[in-house]
Amino acid sequence: MLFPARPPLLSNDYKPQLALALTGVVIVSAIIILRSMGRVWWCSLGDFSPITLDAWGPHNSQHFADPYVFSHLLHGVILFFVFNFAVLRRKPLWGLFFTTLLEVAWEIFENTPFTINHYRAATAAVGYTGDSVINSFGDILACVGGWFLARKVGIWWSIAVFFVAEIGCLIWIKDNLTLNVIMILHPIQAIKTWQSGM
C-alpha cells in the first residue's frame, strides 16, 4: 500500500489548533499584503458577479472564480502529497499550513510587476494586469480545497482528478497548469500562437 491509513486531522500530539490558526493568519495576511500592493478588491471593470468563464478576456483574474481555479485546486492536490508523504504525514494540518503558505507566496509573487510583465510578454495573456484580491482569495481557497480533496480520495483518484482537470482545461481554454508552468519557465512561441488563435 502506497499510503497507510490516514491519521486523524485533530490529534493533541502535534498542536493542530496552532496549525489551523497559523493557516488562517497566512490567508488574512495575504489579503492585507495584496491590497497594500495596489490590487483592487474586486473586478476593475466594476462587474461584481462571482464567476467569469472567459479565460482570455478582461474579466479573467478579476472575480472570485475563473477557469484557472482548476489549476489552483491542483496546486493543493500536488502539495498535499509533497508535504504529507513522509515527515508531515502524522501532522496533517501542518501540511495544510505549508501548502497554504506556498500558495500565498505564489499569489503575492504572481501579482508583482515582474511576473505580470512576464506573463504579458511570454504568454497569450497580453492583457493580464494581475489578480483582484477576491480572485487571489478564491485561488487560495481552491488550493486548500485541493488539499482536502487529495486527503479524502487518495493518490490514485488524485491522479485521475489531475488528468481530467488538465485535459478538460486544455480543451476548454487552451491552457492548464502544465502549459502555464512551461510558458513561465521556457516560453514556446508555437504554444503562444495556438493559444492566441492566430
Q: How much is the pLDDT for 4?
A: 46
Confidence band for 190, pLDDT divided at 50, 70 and 90: very high
Is the CB of residue 79 less than 8 Å from the CB of residue 68? no
Confidence band for 8, pLDDT divided at 50, 70 and 90: low
What is the pTM (predicted TM-score) of this model? Answer: 0.90
**Lowest-confidence pick of 17-21, 42-46, 124-128, 150-154:** 124-128
Q: How much is the pLDDT for 195?
A: 86
> What average pLDDT does this structure show over 93-107?
96
> What average pLDDT does this structure show over 157-176?
96
Counting Cα atoms < 13 Å in the Cβ hemisphere of 65 gives: 9
What average pLDDT does the chain have? 90
Structure-block grid coordinates of residue 46: 466594476
Confidence band for 10, pLDDT divided at 50, 70 and 90: low
